[in-house]
Structure 1
């Protein structure tokens, strides 16, 4: 009996989360896709939890079990926000598939760098999207045309560099060869460019 009621409440949560997300993206402003999807899922989780607390048919659950259900729904909301809209919005892998489809199913491998620099950056407004996300996250600030790290951004960059160097695969398959290139992608960077802020 409990399993059926939990399943029914969870199904309601999923439908509600999708409905809130659809209303949000259709009729409201969205600053960052990931953050808005998280907010939508959290709202659906708390609304569902409120109904579970209020309806007599869910009195078979203890307070602790109801708390567990809320936690499950919150974790599900987080997983959905990352796994669906955020991945589709940010994924270079999906872009490659969509671009191949757009171009009739095939693109010369030697031209992919050109596709990324000439088409991907413009079509997805990649610089604008990523700078907006970082501004909204508080990791950068823009002053007089200069993008600067905040202390929060500096800390995250240090963590990312540490993780990349020490906790990413040292033997990763890249186009038929195993390499550690992505543990230190700046290893072969060009010399100092003139785009730094004065």
Structure 2
């Protein structure tokens, strides 16, 4: 009986989350897709948690069990927020599939660098999207046409570089060859270019 009602609560949660998400994404203003999705997850969790405590249908659960069910709903929602809208919004892999479909199902392999640098960046407004996300996250600030790291951004960049160098795979398959190139992508970087900001 409890398993049935717990499953019912989870199904109710997914329905509520789906409705909130669709309304928010279609009619609301969104700064960052992941943050907006996380807000939807929290709103749906509050609604379902309230239902768990308010409706007699869920009276078979003690308060601790209700909190556990609400926590499970929150974790499921969080996993969905990362795994679906955020991945679709940010994924270069999905872009490749969509681009292949747009171009009739096949593209010459030697054209992909051109596609990434000339079509992907423009079609997805990649620079605008990523700078907006970083501004909203507080990791950068923009002043007088220059983008600067904040202290938070500097910390995250250092943590990311450490993780990349120490905990990403050293033998990763890239186009038929195992390499550690992506543990230090700046290894073969160009000399200091002329796009730096003074000061």
Give TM-score scaled by structure 1 length: 0.99
Aligned to 2:132: 132
- Look up the SS of the partner of 2:142 in the other structure: strand
1:104-162 Cα shifts (integer Å, max 9, x gaps): 00000011000001100000000000000000000000000000000000000000000
1:157-186 Cα shifts (integer Å, max 9, x gaps): 000000000000000000000000000000
Equivalent residue runs for 1:1-16 within 5 Å = 1-16=1-16
Query: Does 2:180 align with 1:180?
Result: yes
Aligned to 2:155: 155
Aligned to 2:72: 72
Structure 1 alignment gaps of length 5 or more:
none
How much does 1:28 deviate?
Answer: 1.0
Structure 2 alignment gaps of length 5 or more:
none
- Look up the SS of the partner of 2:117 in the other structure: helix
Aligned to 2:145: 145
Q: RMSD between aligned alpha carbons?
A: 0.5
The whole-number CA distance in structure 2 between the counterparts of 1:78 and 1:57 is: 26
How much does 1:19 deviate?
Answer: 0.4
How much does 1:82 deviate?
Answer: 0.5
How much does 1:41 deviate?
Answer: 1.1
- Residues matched between the structures, number: 198
Aligned to 2:30: 30
The whole-number CA distance in structure 1 between the counterparts of 2:8 and 2:104 is: 44
How much does 1:56 deviate?
Answer: 1.2
The whole-number CA distance in structure 2 between the counterparts of 1:27 and 1:110 is: 40
Runs of 4+ in structure 1 deviating by more than 3 angstroms, as ranges, are: none
User: Which of 50-59 and 177-186 deviates more?
Assistant: 50-59
Aligned to 2:170: 170
